[in-house]
Structure 1
Amino acid sequence: EPVTHAIMPDATDHLVDGLLKRLDCEPAYVALRQTSQAQGVSWLMLVGGMLRDWVLFETVSADLDVVVYPAHAKPLAKALSKVYGCKCIVLDEALGIYRLVVPPTFFETNGLQGRVVMIDVAARLGNTLADDLARRDLTVNAMGLTLDDAHWHDPYDGLGDAQRRQLRMVSADNFRDDPLRYIRLFRFAATLGGLAMEAGTLVEVRAEGHRLLHVAPERIHYELCRLLDAEQCFDVIGLMQQTGLLGHLFVEWPALQQVPANGYHHLALPEHTLALLQQLEQLWAGLPASMRGALAEPYNATMSRRAVCRLGCFFHDFGKPATMALDDETGRYRFYGHEKVGAELVAGIALRYRWSQQLTRDVCALTRWHLYPHQVMGPEVSDKARHKFFRRLTHVMPELLALALCDRHSTRGALVSQADVDRDEAQLLALWAAYEVFAKAEAELPPLLSGREVMARLNLQPGPAVGRVLDQLREAQLAGELADKASAEVWLDALQDHVN
């Protein structure tokens, strides 16, 4: 129910004044005000993330959520699409929800750096403003600012919760009506700087989090990616484990509890898995700047490469329960082939959550090859063997070596000394340095022969065989065995003689 709280009207005046002054510098907002006035929209309310972020951080988020009377929603959205130069995307025709993705060109014409902004225009739900805010997920998201009277509406004490730095649900029914909110809660906890979750809200998650099973997998995947892209997420994912949410999201998770600590691992498998996420946060500042820079690069529109690394950390040992076998001689458990089985499990999870082909390929590769860096990092390994490793996994090299470092620091059983950890860390960092040299050399070295030339000389048809020959040719070139086109042709002739 709405609460009465001791906030005097002038307590929000500075919030309203500061926000409106800031918004007057935003071309997208100015265009919204001008267009709504031209359309005769007499009542318009800003809601959601913009108000929340202003209260928490005194920053203005790029995106806008706008509520208007039902009759005005579609006409206003259509008019704005013409002003912004973008399409009007129908999110829900029945509820009157429309999205405008404002293109960079709109800002460039206003003399600003190009960026993408999303504006959602929605019809007011219910008969009153209070009815609309009552249907929102969290109290910090259930605040509104009506622009006609510049009044801040806060029926559920979202401002107080923001000041207390806590996330509290508006009502349990709102979560149950849209169970995605059970995971959005954790995403907000991670992305809003570690806000705590109110006790009653956590009770609801523990009791009813299983309702997530009825949510479209793509929606869950989007929220997970946003969560994993937060600056810090270890504590939040740990809380997801404690509330049972990880088990609802991944049916494979409970089986990890079967794998105990051992001579090499000081933690049982669930805790070891989460420890990798913690290590990535703790080691982050000390990683080579070039590795941090690579991991900070955008992976797609939703997340960075660091989030992909976190997925690899989370899934890397999922194959252990299925491969666990007791060695009678040593009395220790072995997990032969767990990396292969784990990659197969990840492929199934990717299918279930409808990942992109690229993300499936990359996280499967991180799982399949997470042990491989240790096989190519010693001084006894040849450059040719390392280069083959680099070329095979160049698309995930920063993620893979960061994962290996986190795994090393999370494996501290009685049979592992600090000297072991220090040695392996130094060798993994040396492997990264060698990869940087390799990547620079490969980028600067032009290929000696094209695919067409290889096909003509070996009388091959287009297909995988051509790619394999080109890979071998490139490896020989990078190893310094081939210096020019003539030597490459001699090499090809020798290869053909060997095949024949």
Structure 2
Amino acid sequence: MDFLGDIAIVFERAGHSIYLVGGSVRDRILGRAAPDLDLATSALPEEISRLLRQSGGKAIVEIGSAFGTVCARFGDGQVDVTTFRSEWYPDPHSRHPQVQFGTSLRQDLERRDFTINAIAQDISSGHLIDPFDGVGDIARRRVRAVGRAEDRFCEDPLRMMRAIRLAAQLDMEIDAPTRSAIAASAGRLQFISAERIRAELEKILLSEDPAGSLADVIDLGLCRFVIPELLELAETDNDERSRQKDVLSHTLRVVNGVRAHLPLRLAALLHDIGKPATRRVRGGKVHFFRHELVGARMARRILGRLRFDRATTEEVSSLVALHMRSNLYSRDWTDGAVRRYLREVGGHRELLLELSRADITSYRHRKIRDGLARVAELEARCERLGADGVVARMRSPLDGNDLMELLDRPPGPWIKPLKEHLLGLVLDGQLDPDDRERAAAIAVELAAPEGDPPVAPAPVGGEKSG
């Protein structure tokens, strides 16, 4: 960080003050790494660009000239330098503040969200400027709004999500007045774009205790503007005999049970999202038939609404659709059944197995132990049978063209079940993938006369139905 001294010298020689501010100071106090730095200065944007270039900055860009911000690269890190400013919102429903550049550091700090982010540090002397006792709040592990919390949340309602996220990331608590203000102002989150909400949700999900933060999002009334479908999980129980086993509590345990990998944690959050729509009670027992398929469709809609990218949406919805497959495993699965599982889950296997382990939640230790043992056995069999991707490469000895020529029939729906039957025999080890002669004999024997229903593929030996 030697370049900070160079920046300070250049700006001061030009007659401008410059300070390290915001999260950069907070993270320094906490001993957290901060590769990107925020600085505040009395210089105007056009001066900032020139002075950063004199300080040795590269790739200098005005990323928000209307807001007085210029960024530059120094080594591997980015430095954002912003002119001292004040801002206000003439329309309480607008996210477009009026900005006025100023010369006062205190005025600049007053506009910030939380006291822990309203600290400045003189680069030359190291002296801290802390008008709102942010250092004290860091010591008390407390997230507290600058000034009147309701005003800060009116200025930018996303700050309510940010308070929850910061508390999770920094292992802090939100102080009582700030927490009450979030509950009172929650409705204002509806004015925030889906993209900005998604960004905060991602950070919450990747924190060390996402379940605690998600519980705050729900309890403080923000969830109805983030993923309102989660609220129904709290009203849906997994067991007709016990209202304590609600789906939301289970879901939050699953989220905390997987590693900090965004698609995996999103899949954990949404894996049972289809249960409220599919809940049925039969014979005194609760069932959620095909909830994973309903949930996959819901996950796709939810992630699309939050503007997640297509790759993430596809991966998460696939994980939700497949999440029951691993938990259906039993020791009577044949090797062919395991090979079918491998082909079905494809490249999702590792994440699915981790999701399956986390999905085994119970108050009975024996049930957890037995469930984990089943998943471990499935994983071992997958590693043995799927080594070097051999299962993914397995094919029917005859393709569609071969079958049409063999049976002298035109293209049609009869081809697929025949190919699947032959592939099933290959997966079960009953037919060599290169044995075209025997495959042809089997196809001739099983081929239905033209106009009859096509032959059904062989069932999966030992596999339980969902």
On whether the aligned pair clears a TM of 0.5, the verdict is: yes
The answer to whether the aligner puts 1:366 opposite 2:319 as a matched pair is yes
| CA displacement, residues 308-333 of structure 1 (integer Å, 9 cap, x when unaligned) | 22212211111111122332xx1333
Q: Note the C-alpha offset of 1:482.
A: 8.1
Aligned pairs for 1:280-299 within 5 A: 280=257
Aligned pairs for 1:223-234 within 5 A: 223-234=200-211
Q: Is the 8 A contact 1:343 1:364 kept in 2?
A: yes
1:166 aligned partner, one-letter code: R
Equivalent of residue 382 in structure 1, options 308, 323, 334: 334
Match of 1:46 in 2: 20
The answer to whether the aligner puts 1:153 opposite 2:129 as a matched pair is yes
Cα distance change of structure 1 residues 365 and 445 upon mapping to structure 2, 3 Å threshold: closer
Q: Is the 8 A contact 2:238 2:286 kept in 1?
A: no
Cα distance change of structure 1 residues 441 and 459 upon mapping to structure 2, 3 Å threshold: same
Give distance in 1, aligned partners of 2:419 and 2:21. Answer: 57
Please list every run of 5 or more consecutive structure 1 residues that lacks an aligned counterpart in the other structure: 1-22, 108-115, 285-294, 296-303, 461-465
Q: Note the C-alpha offset of 1:118.
A: 3.1
The answer to whether the aligner puts 1:429 opposite 2:376 as a matched pair is yes
TM-score, with structure 2 as normaliser: 0.77
Match of 2:408 in 1: none
Aligned pairs for 1:66-77 within 5 A: 66-72=39-45, 75-76=48-49
Aligned pairs for 1:83-98 within 5 A: 83=56, 85-86=58-59, 88=61, 90=63, 92-98=64-70
The answer to whether the aligner puts 1:176 opposite 2:176 as a matched pair is no
Q: Note the C-alpha offset of 1:143.
A: 0.4
Cα distance change of structure 1 residues 490 and 174 upon mapping to structure 2, 3 Å threshold: farther
Provide the secondary structure at the position in 1 that maps to 2:228. coil
Cα distance change of structure 1 residues 389 and 81 upon mapping to structure 2, 3 Å threshold: farther
Match of 1:16 in 2: none
1:313 aligned partner, one-letter code: A
Aligned pairs for 1:17-56 within 5 A: 23-24=1-2, 29=4, 32-33=7-8, 36=11, 40=14, 42-56=16-30
Match of 1:314 in 2: 269
Equivalent of residue 356 in structure 1, options 297, 309, 312: 309
Q: Note the C-alpha offset of 1:334.
A: 2.5
TM-score, with structure 1 as normaliser: 0.72
Equivalent of residue 351 in structure 2, options 368, 374, 399: 399
Q: Note the C-alpha offset of 1:385.
A: 2.1
Equivalent of residue 135 in structure 1, options 99, 106, 111: 111
Q: Is the 8 A contact 2:7 2:55 kept in 1?
A: no
Cα distance change of structure 1 residues 78 and 269 upon mapping to structure 2, 3 Å threshold: farther
Cα distance change of structure 1 residues 488 and 49 upon mapping to structure 2, 3 Å threshold: farther
Greater fraction of residues in strand: 2
Q: Note the C-alpha offset of 1:48.
A: 1.4
Cα distance change of structure 1 residues 419 and 146 upon mapping to structure 2, 3 Å threshold: closer
Cα distance change of structure 1 residues 157 and 197 upon mapping to structure 2, 3 Å threshold: same
Give distance in 2, aligned partners of 1:365 and 1:216. Answer: 26
Q: Note the C-alpha offset of 1:217.
A: 0.9
Match of 2:285 in 1: 332
The answer to whether the aligner puts 1:204 opposite 2:176 as a matched pair is no
Give distance in 2, aligned partners of 1:215 and 1:169. Answer: 19
Give distance in 2, aligned partners of 1:82 and 1:490. Answer: 77
Cα distance change of structure 1 residues 131 and 424 upon mapping to structure 2, 3 Å threshold: same
Q: Is the 8 A contact 1:44 1:148 kept in 2?
A: no
Give distance in 1, aligned partners of 2:381 and 2:15. Answer: 62
Match of 2:138 in 1: 162
Give distance in 1, aligned partners of 2:379 and 2:206. Answer: 23
Q: Is the 8 A contact 1:142 1:154 kept in 2?
A: yes
2:289 aligned partner, one-letter code: Y
Q: Note the C-alpha offset of 1:387.
A: 2.4
Give distance in 2, aligned partners of 1:472 and 1:191. Answer: 52
Provide the secondary structure at the position in 2 that maps to 1:120. strand
Aligned pairs for 1:475-490 within 5 A: 487=434
Provide the secondary structure at the position in 1 that maps to 2:59. coil
Percentage of pairs with the same residue: 26
The answer to whether the aligner puts 1:62 opposite 2:40 as a matched pair is no
Provide the secondary structure at the position in 1 that maps to 2:67. coil
The answer to whether the aligner puts 1:245 opposite 2:222 as a matched pair is yes
Give distance in 1, aligned partners of 2:423 and 2:35. Answer: 46
| CA displacement, residues 162-188 of structure 1 (integer Å, 9 cap, x when unaligned) | 011111111322222111111111111
Q: Is the 8 A contact 1:447 1:474 kept in 2?
A: no
Give distance in 2, aligned partners of 1:418 and 1:426. Answer: 12
| CA displacement, residues 421-455 of structure 1 (integer Å, 9 cap, x when unaligned) | 3222101122223334455421x899699xxx979
2:139 aligned partner, one-letter code: Q
Match of 1:187 in 2: 165
Cα distance change of structure 1 residues 437 and 358 upon mapping to structure 2, 3 Å threshold: farther
Cα distance change of structure 1 residues 440 and 223 upon mapping to structure 2, 3 Å threshold: farther
Provide the secondary structure at the position in 2 that maps to 1:393. helix
Provide the secondary structure at the position in 1 that maps to 2:239. coil
Cα distance change of structure 1 residues 489 and 140 upon mapping to structure 2, 3 Å threshold: farther
Cα distance change of structure 1 residues 385 and 89 upon mapping to structure 2, 3 Å threshold: farther
Greater fraction of residues in helix: 1
Q: Note the C-alpha offset of 1:458.
A: 8.2
